[in-house]
Structure 1
């Protein structure tokens, strides 16, 4: 008997609700978009030359000289011009008092009339490029448009932090949190890739601006993604994610394809609203973003689906995950996510983010339809 069937066989429905709510509460973090600022008018509080003759930075420079062939003296001169950004450090820190996850508030902020209307216009302005990307990468135009809308409102809000300041601050002065060492390791890798990327393209590292977390351009790519997934999609011989909508579109499509996007396949399936089906979804909501159940696991346990036309028997072996979207004082919303939902979480590792992209894509597609 599979795992879900054992849960159903041995636990009453009323206890199942309580058990799932307490023991199986989602462990994933519902992050905000990378470019989201708490106050867009906030001025950066900087400390000049904070990283000049800094022992940790000097050790990092030595590693880059050995690993990537950088000129050590040139890097020391560069880092002597890098500023510590207190604002970047503050914005990545968790709030002093944790707030309940709130899907309704998150969704209303990102799936709004501005992003929908501007998304229709962005689609119309770049229709040929979006069609080409859909054909090449298999990703629907609506998904690409929605990601760009969530990230920067179609290039309107790309961030005003000097990227090397933000990355260096987070690589060496990350706020005191329980995962501080891991986060600093990650940001040091991003900083290294940023320096490699600017060197390869003969770009002044001090001239690049982006989000407080180091994300760059219309699609808000981190440096690792710039190196691995950014493409020249307008054919001008260079990759410019800050000014070229075509490069942004092609890069988002390439990112999703390379992470396993499945052409012409759904993102989510809807679960029936009856208490039994909702209880089974709650029991399976373990916070894992990668599909690890099968639809058949849930069907055997008795779940009902709200997907007219879906051939349940034919899809029984399809891998799925449970998406849980809590809102305080309201019933949690549950969906089954498929491979393409998982791929959206590779862009931002948050169920809230991926679902907002999906909902915005559906809204833009509906608004654009004749």
Structure 2
């Protein structure tokens, strides 16, 4: 087998990917009929060589040469070995028959014994690093533990897609969806940042594995975040989010700090259970992830907070109403503060942000 053939086969080795938050199932490869250049992954296919002369790839290469000074021959080599993955294309699609959102179902996937116990072990094994990150970035250890637990079960499910292949597929062959243009631009930007990051860190472009969307390592950083926030927290001379829990912890802390984490401040407040408070919450829940109101605006309208807080001192605090629907159950509502908004910078979903917070709290409680 030639070196080129090995590189083309590399993404087929092992099971196909898992992304912890989506619970994807692994799939195993098998070869199709002899003489064809496609390889079947159950019902899906990958196609080596697709981007060698792909018109959109050529335009992307022209841009990278002009804007970032990449040697054209180097990029030609990369994309001659990039592999189109129909599996990636399939997984990025929204469900054909989307179900109703269920907070209780979502929560049960993350706030559960396996993940909590794994979080306790992770915290115990990395206690000093977590304490250091908490002091340096002002982010509680529980929040860092919550993010890493939700993302990859503490490094257990980091994904095994070759990042070059995933990002090439999504940058040049994004599925036909209403938001295709915006998503194509997003993934082309991520692909550009991935190549720049590899050049800046002298990383082998073919060697990095991640999720089907191109997220990398224990904290699942996309390439733009790799360039902007990843940290050599263990001081060994290079950033390694896949193998260094120290780098992962420091990088998550830095990400949250630079997105505006407020040290010592709450993430959420509970809303009282009376009908008046619920009515105000229903009216104020606009789905926006940033604080668009002050607490005074809600309390003057009649909402009561089920927390021991100084309403006068906190009156001008910026807040948002977090709605958590579950089919056939009353929707739950919470007040989110600035730190809740910061968690949505990692993932815009209200479900995600609250699961991170609650998993971290559950692990902290289990620590005793």
Aligned to 2:219: 219
Offset at residue 275 of structure 1 (A): 1.1
Please give the per-residue CA displacement for 1:221-271, whole angstroms capped at 9, x wherever unaligned. 000000000000111111000000000000000000000000000000000
Q: Which residue of structure 2 lines up, in the alignment, with residue 337 of structure 1?
A: 336
Q: Within 5 A, what are the aligned runs for 1:102-181? A: 102-181=102-181
Distance in structure 2 (CA, Å) of the matches to 1:230 and 1:346: 15
User: Counterparts of 1:238 and 1:36 in 2: how far apart (Å)?
Assistant: 30
Contact 1:217 1:241 in 2 (8 A): yes
Residues 123 and 130 in structure 1, CA contact (< 8 A), matched pair in contact too: yes
Q: Which residues of 2 match residues 180-199 of structure 1 at below 5 A?
A: 180-199=180-199
Is 2:37 the partner of 1:38? no
Q: Return the alpha-carbon distance in structure 2 between the equivalents of residues 322 and 95 of structure 1.
A: 27
Q: Note the alpha carbon deviations across 1:275-309, whole angstroms, 9 max, x for none.
A: 110111010000110001110001100111110x2
Q: Give the whole-Å Cα distance in 1 for the aligned partners of 2:26 and 2:323.
A: 30
1:35·1:211 contact (CA, 8 Å) conserved in 2?
A: no
Instruction: For 1:278 and 1:82, locate their aligned partners in 2 and report how far apart those are by CA, in whole Å.
Output: 53
Shift of residue 40, structure 1, vs aligned partner = 2.5
The higher-RCO structure (CA 8 Å, 6+ apart) is 1
Cα distance change on mapping 1:60 and 1:282 into 2, 3 Å:
same
Distance 1:284 1:73 in 2: 55
- State the distance in 2 between where 1:163 and 1:223 align: 10
Please state how far the C-alpha of 1:36 moved relative to its aligned partner.
2.8
Q: Which ranges of structure 1 fall in alignment gaps of 5 or more residues?
A: 1-31
Please give the alpha-carbon distance, in whole angstroms, between the structure 2 residues aligned to 1:33 and 1:332.
Answer: 27
Which region of structure 1 is more displaced relative to structure 2, 69-78 or 253-262? 69-78
1:294 alignment counterpart: 294
State the match for 2:50 in structure 1: 50
SS at match of 1:313: helix
Q: Given the two structures, how large is their TM-score scaled by the length of structure 2?
A: 0.90
5+ residue gaps, structure 2, are: 1-17, 30-40
Partner of 1:24: none
Cα contact 1:35–1:212 (8 A) shared by 2: no
Q: What stretches of structure 1 move > 2 A for 4+ residues in a row?
A: 32-38, 40-45
TM-score (norm 1): 0.89
Q: How many residue pairs are counted as aligned between the two chains?
A: 337
1:361 matches 2:355: no
Moved more, 292-301 or 39-48: 39-48
Q: How many angstroms does 1:33 deviate by?
A: 6.7
Aligned equivalents of 2:285 and 2:160: distance in 1?
A: 38
SS in 2 for 1:269: strand
